[in-house]
């Protein structure tokens, strides 16, 4: 158990290291010299050379990498080539916003998918089950930005219940923070919830056919009880897999939703820095996103072992 945990942690650390090299190299081979880009085409060669020395991009790649990654380990992502501001603090701020958004969306997706998916599975021969499947099928086809625009139209523009965009930090005014979070989280979470509903349904359907569920019924558990006490935990294994993949999708979806709702998250920061050709900032953001994806994978692995005792020994 401990050994398996250490092995998984080791794999995680190694993949993060490999990912950082990959991100760094990818940015390095992109055409365009950061100094030249930052100064524009009219800059003199001397100025370019001086700026290059200032950025440190005239040094060998290996030196640049270790300098960069060494800083990252202490939270220092360097200074933006464009604004000359420190990247780290801004990244932390923006990451906070995105995590709130993605976290809330995930909770919404789960709150939708687990009950609805289970219900649709239990009633798969009845009309209600078929209706839920059909609706979730429809939901899958709606892109997050469209859902966002629709939600804004109805709740913000027509009914004026909620703000159509913008961000209030939770420590400033928690009520306002929640009101601002609801629509973007719904835009992101509803669609993922629809996708997840189908996976929950099929996982629960498979579980319902298991012999041990019949055993549970033979003991005197009613169908719902049997499913909750014996089925859901086992159905969770395939659902967690999908959940892990979805979290990555959610990060990408967040980029779009942050745009629609004018949220100062990582996604909008990424789009802004790409537009400004702020390469070092892009590099930092991409690294954080990749690490987030790897972390999700790592946690999913740990969750498996927590759920399924059969995986604990090896």
Partner 1 sequence: MTVLAVRGLSVSVGDTELVKDVSLEIGAGERVGLIGESGSGKSLTASAVMGLLPEELDVSGSVELDGRQLLGMPERELSRLRGRAMSMVFQEPMTALNPSMQVGKQVAEVMRLHRTNQDPRAAAVDLLDRVRLPDPRRAAKAYPHQLSGGQRQRVMLAMALANNPSLLICDEPTTALDVTVQAQILDLILANTQGSALLFITHDLAVVATVCERVLVMYDGQIVESGLVLDVFTAPQHRYTQQLLASSDLESTDENGRLKTVSHD
| Interface residues toward partner 1, by CB under 8 A | 125, 210-212, 214-223, 229-230, 233-234, 307-310
Rounded to an integer, what distance in angstroms lies between the CA atom of residue 153 and that of residue 160? 9
Q: Which is nearer to partner 1, 64 or 225 (CB)?
A: 225
Q: Which is nearer to partner 1, 26 or 212 (CB)?
A: 212
Rounded to an integer, what distance in angstroms lies between the CA atom of residue 255 and that of residue 44? 37
Long-range contacts of 32-39 (CB under 8 A, 24+ apart): 32/277, 32/279, 33/57, 34/81, 34/279, 34/280, 35/81, 37/81, 37/277, 37/279, 38/81, 38/82, 38/277
Q: Which is nearer to partner 1, 59 or 229 (CB)?
A: 229
Give min distance, CB of 301 to partner 1, in A: 17
Listed in sequence order, the residues at least 6 apart from 102 whose beta carbon sits closer than 8 Å to its beta carbon are 188, 247, 250, 251, 254
Give min distance, CB of 205 to partner 1, in A: 12
Give min distance, CB of 92 to partner 1, in A: 39
Q: Which is nearer to partner 1, 129 or 193 (CB)?
A: 129
Give min distance, CB of 125 to partner 1, in A: 6
Q: Which is nearer to partner 1, 93 or 308 (CB)?
A: 308
SS (H, E, C) 15-59: HHHHHHHHHHHHHHHCCCCHHHHHHCCCCCHHHHHHHHHHHCCCC
Give min distance, CB of 302 to partner 1, in A: 16
């Amino acid at each position: 158990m401990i050994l398996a945990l250490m092995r998984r942690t080791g794999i995680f650390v190694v993949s993060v290291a490999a990912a950082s090299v990959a991100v760094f190299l990818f940015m390095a081979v992109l055409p365009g010299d950061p100094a030249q880009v930052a100064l524009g085409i009219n800059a003199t060669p001397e100025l370019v050379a001086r700026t290059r020395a200032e950025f440190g991009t005239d040094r060998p790649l290996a030196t640049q990498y270790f300098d960069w990654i060494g800083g990252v380990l202490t939270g220092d992502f360097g200074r933006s080539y464009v604004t000359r501001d420190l990247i780290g603090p801004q990244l932390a701020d923006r990451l906070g916003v995105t995590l709130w958004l993605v976290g809330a969306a995930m909770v919404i997706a789960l709150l939708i998918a687990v009950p609805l998916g289970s219900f649709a599975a239990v009633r798969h021969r009845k009309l209600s089950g078929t209706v839920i499947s059909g609706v979730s099928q429809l939901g899958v086809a709606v892109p997050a930005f469209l859902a966002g625009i629709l939600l804004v139209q109805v709740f913000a523009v027509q009914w004026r219940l909620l703000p159509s965009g913008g961000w209030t930090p939770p420590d400033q005014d928690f009520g306002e923070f929640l009101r601002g979070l609801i629509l973007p989280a719904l835009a992101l979470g509803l669609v993922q919830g629809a996708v997840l509903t189908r996976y929950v349904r099929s996982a629960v359907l498979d579980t319902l056919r298991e012999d041990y569920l019949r055993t549970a019924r033979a003991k005197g558990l009613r169908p719902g009880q049997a499913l909750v006490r014996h089925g859901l935990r086992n159905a969770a294994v395939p659902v967690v897999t999908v959940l892990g993949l979805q979290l990555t999708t959610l990060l990408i979806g967040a980029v779009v939703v942050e745009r629609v709702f004018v949220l100062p998250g990582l996604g909008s920061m990424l789009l802004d820095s790409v537009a400004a050709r702020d390469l070092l900032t892009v590099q930092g953001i991409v690294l954080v996103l990749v690490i987030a994806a790897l972390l999700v994978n790592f946690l999913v692995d740990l969750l498996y072992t927590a759920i399924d005792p059969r995986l604990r020994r090896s």
